Chain A
Amino acid sequence: MLWKKMIRDIWGNKGSYLACLVLVIIGLLIFTSFSIAGDNLSLSQEDFYREQNFAHGFAEITSMPYRELERLSEVEGIEQISGRVKKQARVTRPEGEVGVYLELVSMDLEDPERVNDVRLLEGSELRAGEFEVWIDDQFFDTYRLEQGYRLEIIAGGRARELIVEGVAMSPEFTYPLRTEGEIYPNPEQYGIAFISRDAMWSLFPELQGRVNNVVFTLVHGADFDQVKNRLEPELEPYGLINLYPREDQTSHLILSEEVAQLQRMSTVIPIMFLSVAGLILYIMLKRLVEQQRGQIGILKAFGYSNREVTLHYLAYALTVGFIGGLLGGLAGIYLANPLTWLLLEFFHVPETYEGFSLYYLLLGLIISLAIFLVAGYQGCKYALRLKPAEAMRPPAPISGKKTVLEKIGLFSAMLTIQGKMAVRNLGRNRSRSAFLFLGMTLSCAVVIVTWSLNDIIDKLVFYQYEEVEVHDARITLTEPLSPDPVTIELTGHDEVTMVEPLAEVPVKLSHAWREENVLVLGIPEGSSLYVIRDAAGRRVPTPERGVILSERLADKLHVSPGSTLELESPYLRNGEEPVLVDVCRVIPQYLGMNAYMEITGLIDLLDQGSFATSFMVNVDGTSGPDDPGGDSRTISIASLRDRYRESEQVAAVDGLEERVREARELMETFGVVIYIYVLFGMVMAFSIIYSSSFIILSERNRELASMKVLGMTSREVFSVITFEQWFISVFAILAGLPLAQMMMMAFARELSTDLYTLPAELSAQALLMGAIITIASISIAQQFALRKVRKLDLVEVLKTRE
């Protein structure tokens, strides 16, 4: 019988229970789908690493004889070691709209225990010495290649043909990025080709019998840093550029970060939603018990035990928890695979789908039930204390009281009578007011933070290309050259309007025991093509002496302007001896993590003759109103690219506008995700206001009905409730701003990597949108509640004493 009572009670207030249920469903949906997708991704990663013998350490060197490897394999702590030749080559067939590049990676076909082994997905084995390659699956699919396809590339300044023999993937390239400045893979521009070592040597005769890249695995329990210390002196004579652990390997770093992020989100978001739902339910139950005290009295008088009465009211909470948990869990399981599939668009790991996860379904249900058990018990424990006789008496009348706020004369004078009622009601139920305040603060902050992700992504991508790297194209050389003749050569072309050299020098910067491997960019004094800016966006001049660091780099090295760093580099004339350099400034950098110097100062420091590793150019063409896409510029860049198609010295010609355009397209995908989160924030605000309206309505239906009888319109009557909600919400929205700022800072700290640094500031637009969206959610919820005021049955309410 009590079940029927419960079902009817819930049905009678279905709107509020539904609002609560929706929050539980969203929470559980995110919990299961993100957990499963995270597991899928991390399982794929683990399996893939194990099966392909993924390296623990990576070394880039200028070049080293192949036979040295055997000696290196003796180094204590190293289990297996492989040496490869890695070179980028430009592709002339298939032709892309922009420059297309292949990372050529050699494979030692005789070595049965290759480190970073390649998994052949489809196709046939490579033959030693033949110009046959396996191509990574994304590039293969993007250009719809097939087995036997003849790729045309420029390698070592010569046109060559490579025959596609298969499709493959490697743990080293789960998230392949061509240059440091990129943040997402672009298979249209960049692919990986695996080729036999002998064929590689034929392509690049200068490396015959040598390797420029070493990867190794560690014996179980070995410490990378110790192995590094042993290996470094061995590799230094061969021009060691960088020696780093798996944790710093780009693909691994981003993939692991994604897995960690999924796991974090799979807890944080559901906790947020379930807590709010639990609180709403707690308040609803508390009200229900107060309302039904007469019924409780009768039940107890009949002989129902405390336990039975409590269980009855707990059942309301557990029903919502169970239904929400089940529906949310099932929906999450259903969505987990599409989510995994979406992730695999970005990460090249073999597919693993867990399918139906009973584990997460049950875990989700248990979490949901546990939260609702606590919320429900807190809500209905009052029923326990009621004695039957006492319960059947009406509750003590509500005593009116002026609030402290009203002691402020001006404030009091400003209030209408409805306003006074509202303000006094706030004090009447402090815990509920506090909940309303916290809930609205949280919803507002969620909306602001998610909305500002738009700005962040914008800043991340566009700041670098539109404010800092303000050149049209970058010409990267295969080896450093003296800048003057190249500048003269480039300026000679009609389409080129401006040329500046750039020196990108790999260095190891150290301060006390902290060290970082980064690129120092040498930029001409007063450069108009590469503009370093401070936090306020003002141009920062390149210092003659000393180095400018990005904020993140300065943090990692624990230095500030005035500190002195040790700098080591394979480019130092006296290779072994580090030189000292002063930090003169720290600047924000969102994309990448670099150090900057004036180019001649850098060259002097290295004690080298003048050189540049790439050139920044501006080309003819306007991107004014007649030519918004900058087509003429694209044509100029294409002609420049054509000109150096077969040059041995030019590795790549990259147009920056193309990058920006592609980034913009990608951002649109992210946009959808952001709007979904914004919607979640709105649902939360809506549910809180909606259920709070209903509780207030049920509590004060008598007062409200009396006001209607006096001749007030439904809207005037409802203004007592809305005034109360707006009063709290205004403060909640104001409090939401600093909370959003705190969340943003936590976000930025958690999510920033060496590849990109998230800015922690919130734009005025995000703050405004957060406030507007929150206000809109409140208004919509109030419109729904207003309908209940319209339907208030005056006769029924006023006839009886509560």
Chain B
Amino acid sequence: MELIVARNIHKRYQMGEVTVHALRGVDFTLYDRELVVVLGHSGSGKSTLVNIVGGMDLASEGELYFKDRPLHNAGEAELTGYRRDQVGFIFQFYNLMPNLTAYENVHLSVQIAKDPLDIDALLEQVGLIDRREHFPSQLSGGEQQRVAIARALAKNPQLLLCDEPTGSLDLPTGKQILKLLRDFCDQYNKAVVIITHNTNISYMADRVIYLKDGLVEEIKENPEPLPPEKVSW
């Protein structure tokens, strides 16, 4: 089933005197239950794309649909509702609330969700049940990212958007994180989009979208995606 349909997406930024054309007519479709990797060098427009798909930013031109619902002309309130109910975000720098414990950070998103998942079950799943009362400053980078994943999943979103989720982590920790993402996709039948410049990660994807200079260069199906444990870089 089509989850996201993007048609001819353009994004222009005004940077002082210069207009930056970050996306120049991107077309693609996302289906549910798939894990997609968006691959591109820095400046290829991949973060811009995920921000637009995630409802954090509006396209300058083009059409964007979530389950046939148009988002390209949505107002602030509609976008907030979309982020609230349908999307989960994971960032490179975790962005946890420093003065909330692991449990409370997850609770923060449960609080606003319509159909949330059980917090302790999620913490169990990400392997942090013993550290539920710890504050972010008492957790390692990998642990913090796992809290961030639990937080994103807890809302039970249709779509999980991950912007360089392993960017600040070492290889073993990074693999753990990727495995969690793969599991979420398979167990809960949700769509996961991972944005990265790391080609190796693309081997675990069902599909890979290659982005270059603000355009989709190629979309490649991966008939046999590698399990995350086998990914290496």
Contact = CB atoms under 8 A, between A and B. Distances in A.
Nearest to B52: A795
Nearest to A712: B112
Given A401-B135, A712-B84, A795-B56, A707 B98 contact: no
B47 A710 contact: no
Contact of A421 (B95, B100, B138): B100
Interface in B53-103: 54, 56-57, 76-77, 80-85, 87, 89, 91, 93, 95-101
Given A417-B104, A710-B83, A710-B151, A801 B99 contact: no
B56 A425 contact: no
Interface residues of B, number: 36
B145 interface: no
Interface string A701-739: 011011111111110100000000000000000000000
Interface stretch (A156-164, A392-400, A468-476, A515-523): A392-400
B155 interface: yes
A86 interface: no
Contacts of B80: 708, 711-714
A794 interface: yes
B107 interface: yes
B200 interface: no
B119 to A, nearest CB: 11
Given A400-B137, A801-B93, A710 B99 contact: no
Nearest to B84: A711
Contacts of B100: 400, 417, 420-421, 424
Interface string B29-60: 00000000000000000010001001011000
A399 B98 contact: yes
Contacts of B82: 711
A799 interface: yes
Interface string B132-145: 00011110000000
B111 interface: yes
Contacts of B202: none
A416 interface: yes
Contacts of A703: 95, 97-98
Contacts of B97: 400, 421, 703, 706-707
Given A398-B99, A416-B111, A795-B51, A711 B85 contact: yes
B156 interface: no
Interface in A664-689: none
B108 interface: yes
Nearest to B134: A400
A705 B80 CA distance: 12
A428 interface: yes
Interface string A772-802: 0000000000000000001000110011010
Nearest to A402: B101
A709 B76 contact: no
A425 B138 CA distance: 17
A710 B56 contact: no
Contacts of A711: 80-85, 87, 109, 112, 155
B54 to A, nearest CB: 8
B47 A799 contact: yes
Contact of A798 (B76, B83, B95, B136): B95
Contacts of A398: 98-99, 137
A399 B93 contact: no
Contacts of A428: 99
Interface string B170-214: 000000000000000000000000000000000000000000000
Interface in A399-453: 399-401, 416-418, 420-421, 424-425, 428
Nearest to B79: A711
Contacts of A707: 97, 108
Contacts of B108: 417-418, 707, 710
Contacts of B77: 713
Contacts of A708: 80, 83
Contacts of A790: 76
A790 B79 CA distance: 13
A759 B56 CA distance: 60
Contacts of A399: 98, 135, 137-138
Contacts of B109: 710-711
A418 B91 CA distance: 21
Contacts of B93: 798, 801
Interface of B: 47, 51, 54, 56-57, 76-77, 80-85, 87, 89, 91, 93, 95-101, 104, 107-109, 111-112, 135-138, 151, 155
Given A397-B98, A420-B104, A421-B100, 12 more contacts: A399-B138, A400-B137, A401-B135, A416-B111, A418-B108, A420-B99, A428-B99, A703-B97, A708-B83, A709-B83, A711-B83, A795-B47
9 contacts: A398-B137, A400-B99, A417-B100, A417-B104, A706-B95, A707-B97, A710-B83, A711-B85, A799-B47
